[in-house]
């Protein structure tokens, strides 16, 4: 039984649901509530979950607002209760219809004696009866017309659109194309009479993938319009502009899968969302030693200490492991930062193997347990007896397995364990069980001292560890001071005897004993932390104090202060070694998957895995900036080539869905990258090794208790607890940042090919085919008729580059408002150029300013890569004079803005006084996109043009920070709050900025037709006002930072791809001579002869007709030279990447034909859909190829393929026929056929 209770208010639904859930006598009812998504209480996803639970029976009582009155189809619902009466008859009928089962009931709850409510119910019933009666008596007098609506259906989804609905869909599609105030995209309809009826000609906006659609003749104008619109929708779907659901392309599969990550916490996004992840412990540190033989061999590494200054003594130590370290880790170097600016340079030196017998292994294990207890759990040494026995049978398998032991250094960096020292420390009385007497140790010794725990030999006391109960402190005893006793002055006025009597109420029984020279036991610290600039280097003697012997308890004999100095360094070294080994493991995993990344170093991988929270000398943030730019570039290039029918907005959305943090998180966790991330600074109490295993055992049952979600996010590094599985909280954004940093690591050390291979391994497709570039370059010929609209030669001279495909340059300056040609505009090139410039400028900043902090690097990039900066550049290079548009307002606005740039010599904010037309900055991006395409993706060429074109930006001669950013930084320095208020009057925005904090009160206002510009102007004025009052930001400005920063030579980082020179005429370069394809086709010039087989120049197919002969020639050719089943197949791809782009290439017959033409300096072949055959629902296409050979003037070759269901297949078949003919006639040679 299922029941729905309808209420009118959201608060009623929530409250009633809560009450019903908590009534014990209704425990058989499982209640939930359903409210509208727009209420902000629930997401669409959670609403669907509630409905699915109600439908499945997991919930059987639902309290719903009127959102549940329509469309809620639960067949098993048998009871509907109106807690609040319906407000309309429609609501009454709709809610009653939710009771789907036969014999179901519908009940009202009314207040007893409330006549108004009872009358309202009667009114509802009468109205319902009246409507039923009218329906039963209604009879249509309209004659039935035999009209069959034409529809278009998508088979895989079932989505269907009719001809009448296609009109609104076409308008909707056009309205969502990218537009600005100078361009309103909408379809244009033209009609003309034909012999067979009325024809509608639709002209779509310039930035649509299809420019023109013509209807078939129809009996009326309206029918022709519907027919044309339906054809347009079908064509848009076929090219991918409409989805398989016949909707404009807005989102893709990535958005749906990442919904859970994005539907809440919208203000902090992924930054505030964290998940619990396991942290990998490297395999090299998990190899235990087994007691299966009398002896065991260990790989030994000498830990070399080089202090600066040399003001401390350090005991030599060695690292002993069952398995050898990787070569990079075995020679690891680490610089440790000590107090007062002191440094210790450390290095691991491989020292061969060492043999331990069973007794030595036991001694080594106890020695390590001993010093770990001393430095980390010293309170365990306060009792008189300390056990070093192994009480944890699982300790060896659950801990990192290595031994740290004092060593003696020999020649050739060989070491041996100092067993004398080890055994002397372990012979200390504190390790003897109280029941086992050790005898009178001082009975035969003359030199002894009275200590708090008895008489002890002077030899045992010196270089030992003692505990002073009255101070609760451990000390190293370095020497005896025979010249001083208890009667010596403690300070200027008191002796030691007086001091301990007054302070601790201790009366010294042996005041004549010499004092002990002692140094306090250190507190273990993180020595990997960043060195603060305020810490000046200064040499200072060690601090010692004087202690009376009788207040000291002897703990460990032979445990001298030089051992302590070394032990203070070792945990930090081992922590770094663990992180370094994790980086090596990840490197080996990645290199095994794609060998292109073999050159990346483990140090670079470690940098990419280390977050700023580790507080080390390096972090992932600079690499992340570089990787983010490359990711945007690589994905943008791939999408640009793959989706040639998508507009700029659709391409931008697709790229965003791929490179956003949610998708990167999903891909990273799928490939288990999160376990390698280092996101915690080294904490001494979290250091675990053999001898000190983690006592917190974590499993699925205890996980939530040990690692609660309500931890302190601001101090999470200190709040987290380390368990035996090394769980730690990771922000979702951190995981995504690591992915971008790894991309940057591969770029810096290995180049584009390795970064591309990493993205492919991760699951981000960035490959492309050379034929895709050829197709776009060839398609640019459609813009050549517009050459008379602009001075192409002058523009090429301005850029310093001659285009091989002039159409690309013309397209880069066609504004979408210009619609008097065959369609197309600069917006797609703008999308490509934006990605190219973003990476080039990021590479420039990364290489020129190596010491800039990541945040400063990001600030500089945001200052450089923005539309205002590009508009400035376009104005200085007079790009606005070349734009092709139909908007006089746009031309006028551009001219005014450029003139304003020229007159802005004084006043920093003058440029913003006029609204910057976005189209002006777009021209720079589209122009760079055109150069990038025309050079065959040669970034080196674009780099050189960029350096000269964008010099005013990248030289930062006029650095303009965002005024809003400047104002907020200034206010943050004084904990002020800035307030903005805006209003609109006479079509202009008036923005007021105000700071009112006690003694400081300042306001500024600005007016502009753009609200954003007005806000920036107000922020700048307020900043200048506050600065005039003497307030300055406490952080250094970017100008000051750049003046003091070290500047290096600019470098295009990582570019190792070979340009696709086949897309243009580059000096007659014969690309195919080195091809490794299965069909290695060698191209001969028409005057050449093959060395392996005599070939004659065949006669041309037919003389080329003149213009007046074209129609006659076409009729003749219509039945001739149709190639049937050519004996050449080139669609299997190639074995290698001949251009070395790092991208996977598939060489089709069409692509090979382009290559042959380019290699021989022939004009590219012209592909044309020559004929369509068959009925509309099973159409077939026949393609024609027209080729011209430069060496044979006035000659033309035409090739026709067989009918195919898809245009792509038809073009490919025609290309196969062309290759077959050229091979048979000797124009090309396939060496496999001549073996």
Gap between the Cα atoms of 560 and 568, Å rounded: 13
SS3 category, 317: strand
CA-nearest of 1127, 1124, 1123, 1128 to 1078 is: 1128
Q: Which phi and psi (to 5°) does residue 165 adopt?
A: -80, -20
Going through 388-486 in order, the beta strands assigned E by DSSP cover 403-409, 415-417, 448-451, 454-457, 464-468, 473-481
Q: How many H-runs (helices) and E-runs (strands) does the chain carry? A: 40, 34
* Residue 1181 β-bridge partners: 1172, 1204
What are the angstrom distances between the C-alpha of 1088 and each of 648, 1222, 1235?
Answer: 47, 14, 20
- CB-hemisphere CA count at 13 Å for 1013? 17
The C-alpha atoms of residue 781 and residue 795 are separated, in whole angstroms, by 18
- Strand, helix or coil at 513? coil
Q: What is the distance between the alpha carbons of residues 720 and 600, in angstroms, rounded to a whole number? A: 33
- In Å, how far from its chain's centre is CA 367? 47
**Cα dihedral: 933, 938, 943, 945 (round 10):** -50
Q: Are 395 and 690 in contact (CB under 8 A)?
A: yes
Strand pairing category for 212-214 and 274-278 = unpaired
Q: What φ, ψ does residue 152 adopt, rounded to 5°? A: -125, 130
3-state secondary structure of 538: coil
Beta-bridge partners for 545: 518
Distance of CA 999 to the CA centre of its chain: 45
Q: In whole angstroms, give the CA distance from residue 978 to residue 968.
A: 8
CA dihedral in degrees (96, 99, 103, 108; nearest 10)? Answer: -50
Cα 969 off chain centre by: 27
Catalytic residues: 834, 925
Residue for token pair 């990419």: 608
| Cα distance between residue 351 and residue 85, in whole Å | 88
β-strand partners of 335:
345
- Per DSSP bridges, beta strands 2-6 and 61-64 are parallel
Cis peptide before 694 (omega within 30 of 0): no
Q: Which residues pair with 475 in a beta bridge?
A: 466, 520
Query: Does the CA dihedral 804-809-812-818 come out positive or negative?
Result: negative
Q: Are 1199 and 1221 in contact (CB under 8 A)?
A: yes
């Amino acid at each position: 039984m299922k029941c729905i209770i309808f209420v009118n208010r959201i608060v009623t639904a929530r409250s009633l649901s809560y009450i019903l859930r908590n009534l014990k006598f209704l425990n058989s009812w499982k209640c939930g509530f359903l409210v509208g998504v727009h209420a902000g209480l629930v997401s669409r996803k959670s609403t669907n979950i509630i409905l699915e639970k109600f439908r499945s029976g997991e919930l059987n009582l639902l309290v719903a607002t009127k959102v549940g009155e329509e469309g809620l189809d639960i067949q098993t619902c048998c009871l509907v209760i109106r807690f609040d009466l319906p407000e309309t008859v429609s609501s009454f009928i709709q809610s009653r219809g939710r009771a789907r089962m036969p014999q179901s009931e519908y009940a009202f709850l009314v207040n007893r004696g409330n006549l108004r409510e009872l009358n309202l119910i009667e009114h509802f019933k009468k109205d319902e009866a009246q409507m039923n009666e009218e329906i039963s008596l209604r009879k249509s007098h309209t004659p039935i017309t035999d009209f069959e609506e034409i529809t278009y259906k998508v088979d895989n989804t079932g989505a269907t659109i009719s001809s009448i609905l296609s009109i609104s869909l076409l308008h909707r599609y056009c309205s969502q194309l990218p537009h600005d105030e100078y361009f309103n995209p909408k379809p244009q309809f033209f009609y003309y009479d034909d012999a067979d009826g009325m024809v509608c000609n639709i002209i779509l906006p310039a930035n649509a993938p299809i420019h023109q659609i013509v209807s078939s003749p129809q009996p009326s104008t309206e029918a022709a319009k519907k027919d044309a619109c339906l054809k347009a929708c079908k064509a848009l779907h076929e090219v991918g502009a409409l989805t398989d659901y016949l909707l404009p392309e807005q989102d893709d599969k990535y958005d749906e899968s990442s919904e859970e990550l994005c539907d809440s916490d919208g203000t902090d996004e992924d930054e505030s969302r964290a998940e619990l992840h396991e942290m990998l412990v490297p395999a090299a540190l998990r190899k235990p030693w087994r007691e299966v033989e009398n002896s065991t061999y260990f790989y030994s590494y000498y830990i070399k200490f080089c202090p600066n200054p040399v003001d401390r003594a350090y005991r030599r130590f060695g690292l002993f492991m069952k398995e050898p370290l990787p070569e990079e880790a075995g020679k690891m170097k680490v610089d440790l930062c000590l107090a007062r600016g002191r440094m210790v340079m450390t290095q691991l030196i491989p020292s061969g193997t060492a043999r331990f017998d069973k007794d030595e292994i036991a001694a080594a294990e106890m020695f390590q347990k001993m010093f770990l207890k001393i430095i980390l759990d010293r309170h365990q040494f306060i009792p008189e007896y300390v056990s070093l026995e192994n009480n944890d049978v699982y300790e060896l398998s659950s801990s990192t397995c290595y031994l740290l032991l004092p060593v003696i250094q020999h020649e050739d960096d060989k070491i041996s364990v100092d067993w004398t020292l080890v055994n002397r420390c372990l012979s200390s009385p504190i390790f003897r069980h109280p029941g086992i007497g050790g005898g009178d140790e001082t009975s035969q010794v003359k030199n002894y001292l009275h200590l708090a725990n008895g008489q002890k030999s002077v030899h045992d006391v010196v270089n030992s560890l003692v505990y002073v109960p009255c101070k609760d402190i451990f000390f190293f005893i370095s020497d005896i001071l025979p010249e001083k006793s208890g009667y010596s002055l403690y300070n200027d006025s008191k002796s030691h005897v007086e001091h301990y009597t007054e302070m601790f109420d201790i009366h010294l029984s042996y005041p004549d004993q010499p004092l002990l020279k002692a140094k306090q036991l250190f507190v273990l610290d993180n020595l990997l932390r960043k060195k603060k600039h305020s810490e000046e280097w200064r040499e200072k003697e060690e601090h010692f104090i004087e202690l009376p012997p009788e207040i000291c308890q002897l703990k460990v004999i032979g445990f001298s202060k030089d051992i302590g100095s070394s032990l203070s360094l070792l945990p930090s070294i081992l922590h770094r070694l663990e992180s370094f080994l994790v980086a090596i493991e990840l490197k080996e995993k990645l290199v095994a998957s794609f060998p292109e990344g073999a050159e990346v170093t483990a140090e670079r991988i470690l940098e990419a895995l280390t977050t700023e929270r580790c507080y080390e000398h390096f972090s992932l943030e600079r690499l992340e900036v570089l990787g983010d730019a490359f990711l945007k570039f690589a994905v943008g290039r791939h999408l640009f080539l793959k989706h040639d029918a998508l507009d700029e907005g659709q391409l931008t959305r697709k790229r965003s869905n791929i490179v956003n943090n949610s998708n990167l998180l999903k891909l990273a966790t799928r490939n288990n990258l999160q376990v390698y991330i280092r996101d915690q600074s080294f904490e001494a109490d979290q250091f675990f090794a053999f001898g000190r295993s983690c006592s917190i055992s974590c499993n699925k049952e205890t996980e939530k208790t040990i690692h609660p979600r309500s931890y302190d996010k601001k101090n999470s590094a200190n709040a987290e607890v380390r368990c035996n599985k090394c769980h730690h909280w990771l922000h979702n954004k951190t995981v995504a940042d690591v992915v971008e940093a790894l991309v940057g690591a591969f770029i810096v050390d290995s180049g584009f090919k390795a970064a591309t291979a990493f993205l492919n391994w991760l699951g981000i497709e960035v490959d492309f085919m050379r034929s895709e570039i050829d197709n776009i370059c060839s398609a640019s010929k459609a813009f050549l008729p517009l050459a008379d609209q602009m001075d192409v030669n002058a523009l090429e001279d301005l850029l310093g580059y001659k285009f091989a495909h002039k159409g690309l340059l013309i397209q880069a300056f066609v504004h979408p408002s210009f619609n008097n040609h065959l369609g197309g505009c600069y917006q797609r090139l703008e999308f490509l150029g934006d990605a190219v410039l973003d990476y080039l400028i990021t590479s420039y900043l990364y290489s020129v300013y190596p010491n800039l902090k990541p945040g400063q690097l990001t600030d500089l990039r945001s200052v450089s890569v923005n539309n205002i900066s590009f508009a400035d550049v376009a104005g200085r290079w007079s790009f606005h004079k070349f734009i092709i548009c139909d908007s006089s307002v746009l031309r006028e606005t551009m001219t005014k803005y450029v003139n304003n740039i020229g007159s802005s010599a004084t006043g920093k904010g003058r440029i913003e006084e006029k609204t910057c037309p976005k189209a002006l900055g777009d021209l720079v991006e589209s122009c760079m996109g055109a150069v990038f395409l025309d050079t065959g993706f040669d970034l080196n060429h674009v780099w050189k043009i960029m350096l000269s074109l964008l010099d005013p930006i990248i030289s930062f001669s006029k650095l303009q920070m965002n005024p809003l950013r400047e104002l907020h930084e200034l206010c943050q320095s004084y904990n002020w709050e800035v307030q903005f208020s805006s209003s609109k009057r006479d079509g202009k925005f008036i923005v007021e900025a105000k700071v009112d904090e006690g003694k400081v009160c300042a306001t500024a206002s600005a007016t502009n037709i753009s609200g954003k510009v007005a806000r920036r102007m107000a922020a700048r004025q307020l900043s200048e006002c506050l600065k005039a009052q003497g307030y300055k930001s406490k952080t250094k400005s970017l100008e000051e930072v750049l003046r003091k920063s070290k500047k290096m030579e600019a470098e295009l980082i990582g570019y190792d791809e070979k340009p696709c020179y086949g897309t243009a005429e580059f000096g007659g370069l014969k690309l195919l001579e080195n091809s490794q394809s299965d069909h290695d086709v060698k191209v001969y010039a028409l005057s050449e002869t093959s060395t392996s087989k005599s070939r004659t120049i065949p006669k041309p197919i037919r003389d080329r007709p003149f213009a007046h002969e074209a129609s006659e020639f076409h009729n003749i050719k219509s039945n001739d030279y149709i190639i049937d089943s050519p004996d050449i197949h080139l669609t299997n791809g190639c074995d290698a990447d001949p251009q070395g782009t790092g991208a996977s290439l598939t060489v089709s017959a069409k692509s090979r034909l382009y290559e042959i033409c380019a290699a021989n300096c022939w004009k590219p072949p012209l592909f044309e859909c020559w004929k369509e055959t068959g009925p509309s629902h099973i159409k077939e296409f026949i393609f024609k190829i027209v080729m011209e050979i430069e060496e044979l003037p006035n000659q033309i070759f035409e090739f026709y393929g067989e009918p195919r269901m898809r245009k792509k297949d038809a073009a490919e078949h025609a290309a196969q026929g062309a290759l077959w003919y050229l091979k048979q006639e000797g124009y090309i040679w396939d060496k496999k056929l001549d073996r």
